[in-house]
Structure 1
Amino acid sequence: MTTAPINLRYEGEGNFRVMSNYWAARADKDFVIGEVYKMVEHHDRSQISHNHYFAALGNAWSNLPDRLFEEFPTAEVLRKKLLIRAGYADERSIVCASKAEAQRVAAFIKPMDDYAVVTVREAVVRVYTAQSQSVKAMGAKPFQASKQAVLDALDDLLGVERGVTERSEAA
């Protein structure tokens, strides 16, 4: 299977054509003649949207109330923890033999990832890590949805009307 989209041009009447000899060679390498493939439209992520997101996060972090700096010592910690709160997280659970063992396991795991959220409930340790927002990991639509969810969570955290962080001066 191909690791990157192959550029095609729609020529009408149900016909698509590769854009150049390079893409034709890639198609020959990645696909098998006679096989049926499902095509989906791919939207490149906007660099403007990406830059806006990180500028808004940086601006909001630099204006956090003092009481929040211990929980969010950097803009990156803020972004990743808000991704987790917004549901853009991978969860791993470890079932331990006792509550005491769960506490020990959580204490052991916590320093391994500064960005992870580690919780203990009864004898179960749950580790939440933020999903990657890299271009490779997240296409345009999922990125936009996660961006909006984080900015909304940030507005909620700051106790301001939704959309305020998004419209900030630095953004």
Structure 2
Amino acid sequence: MSTAPLPLRYEGDGEFRVTSRMWAARADKSFVVGETYDMVEHHDRSTASHNHYFAALKSGFDSLPDHLRDEYPTVEHLRKKALIRKGYCSHSDHVCASKAEAQRLRAFIKPMDEYAIVEAVECVVRVYTAKSQKMKAMGNRDFQQSKSDVLDFLDDLLGVERGQTARSEAA
């Protein structure tokens, strides 16, 4: 199947048509006549929204007070830890035989991913890793929601009104 979305124009009465001969040729290579395919609407991520997000993150990072610099030494640390804190992450639990073993395992795992959040809770080591926001990894809807949630996290961290960091980069 084709990796690029196939542009279709709705003609009415349930009919869709490819938008050019090139796309018709691609459809002929990718699909079988008479087969049924599930279609979903695809929305490209706005480059402007993407750029605004990273500019707002940089602006917010530049406003971080000194006491938060150890936890967030770079913009990337801030972004990934915010994603984790807002639930855009995967996590795994590693059960240990004792609290001491859990602390040793935490110390061993922590340097493997400088952006991960690694916690020892009793005899369990929890590892949280941020989801990727790359265009191929996160669709438009999820990106927009994660962008909003991360910028809200940043506003809360800075102690400013929600939306202020995003607005400061909109102008």
TM-score range, shorter chain: over 0.9
**Aligned residue for 1:71?**
71
Q: Per-residue deviation at 1:114?
A: 0.8
Counterparts of 1:61-100 in structure 2 under 5 Å? 61-100=61-100
Structure 1 runs of 4+ with >6 Å offset: none
Amino acid at match of 1:43: H
Instruction: Report SS of the residue matched to 2:12.
Output: coil
Q: 1:15 to 1:114 in 2, by over 3 A?
A: same
In the alignment, residue 71 of structure 2 is paired with which amino acid? E
Q: Deviations over 1:71-128 (max 9, x none)?
A: 1000111011001001101111112222222111111110011100001112111111
Match of 1:32 in 2: 32
What letter is aligned with 1:11?
E
Contact 1:60 1:165 in 2 (8 A): yes
CA distance in 2, matches of 1:169, 1:21: 42
1:49 Cα deviation from its structure 2 partner: 0.5
Amino acid at match of 1:123: C
Cα distance between partner residues in 2 of 1:3 and 1:99: 48
Q: 2: CA distance between counterparts of 1:152 and 1:126?
A: 25
Q: Note the alpha carbon deviations across 1:8-65, whole angstroms, 9 max, x for none.
A: 1112221111122332233233333332222111111111111111001001111111
Task: Tell me the TM-score normalised to structure 2 length.
Answer: 0.93
Counterpart code for 2:85:
R
Contact between 1:55 and 1:170, CA under 8 Å: does it hold in 2?
no
* Aligned partner letter, 1:112: M
Q: Is the 8 A contact 1:59 1:170 kept in 2?
A: no
Which residue of structure 1 lines up, in the alignment, with residue 23 of structure 2? 23
Asked whether the 8 Å contact 2:52–2:169 carries over to 1, the reply is: no
Worse overlay, 100-109 or 80-89: 100-109
Residue 54 (structure 2) aligns with: 54
Q: List gaps (5 residues or longer) in structure 2.
A: none
Backbone CA RMSD of aligned residues: 1.5
Structure with more of its chain in helix, by fraction: 2
Moved more, 44-53 or 9-18: 9-18
Query: What is the rounded CA distance, in whole Å, between the counterparts of 2:117 and 2:61 in structure 1?
Result: 19
Aligned-residue sequence identity (percent) comes to 68
Per the alignment, do residues 40 and 69 of structure 1 end up closer, same or farther by CA in structure 2, a change over 3 Å counting? same
Task: Provide, for residues 129-155 of structure 1, a one-character-per-residue CA deviation record: whole Å limited to 9, x for no partner.
Answer: 111111101111110000000000111
Tell me whether 1:165 sits opposite 2:165 in the alignment. yes
Q: Which residue of 2 aligns with 1:112?
A: 112
**SS of the residue aligned with 2:126?**
strand
Contiguous gaps of at least 5 residues in structure 1: none
